[in-house]
Amino acid sequence: MARVIPSYCGLPAWTSRAFLTTAVLVATSALAADVLDGNALKRLVHQDCGSCHGLSLKGGLGPDLRSKSLDHYDADVLTDVILDGIPGTAMPPWRPLISEEEAEWIARYLLESEAQ
Ligand code: HEC
């Protein structure tokens, strides 16, 4: 599927600052991971995401979400796709329903093979 993935090549001057922000976010979400309800989020992934992507995430209306099909994403980009959806398609934004930490948890869950 052709999609523009933000390029991390030819990084402009603000990157080191963005990197710091990311590092802080990652550190914060590592703490937040303790309070996220992993079982509830797994249920959301398999039932809600699964209603379009297939209960076993192998694809349906939406594409296959197993980690081998998502290796063109890094966790940050995947988190954004989950939060903002894919405009002009049936992939909805989840920002109104879940927190950024939860979206990031889901992104990491999908990228690890545990979701299969
Ligand atoms: C209403 C149906 C629907 C639901 C619910 C849904 N999606 Fe999607 N999703 C889609 C469709 C359709 C696409 C393909 C959009 C396109 O044509 O690019 C998609 C695309 C994606 C992609 C991009 C896949 C790729 O290979 O580029 C990801 C990642 C994704 N969805 C994750 C999720 C997650 C995580 C959830 C649950 C939090 C979810 N989706 C819930 C319909 C849905």
20-45 pLDDT, tens digit per residue, is 444 444 444 545 556 899 999 999 99
Q: Which of 41, 12, 30 is nearest to 115 (CA)?
A: 41
Nearest residue by C-alpha to atom 8 in ligand 1: 91
Nearest residue by C-alpha to atom 5 in ligand 1: 49
Domain boundaries, the chain: 37-115
Å from CA of 92 to ligand 1 middle = 7
pLDDT tens digits, one per residue of 60-109: 999 999 999 998 999 999 999 999 999 999 999 999 999 999 999 999 99
On the question of pLDDT at 16 being above 50, the answer is: no
pLDDT tens digits, one per residue of 41-55: 999 999 999 999 999
Integer angstrom CA distances of residue 44 from 39, 40, 60, 109, 115: 9, 6, 16, 12, 12
Burial of 9 (0-12, 13-18, 19+ CB in 10 A): exposed
Class of domain 37-115: mainly alpha
Span between the terminal Cα atoms of the chain, in Å: 21
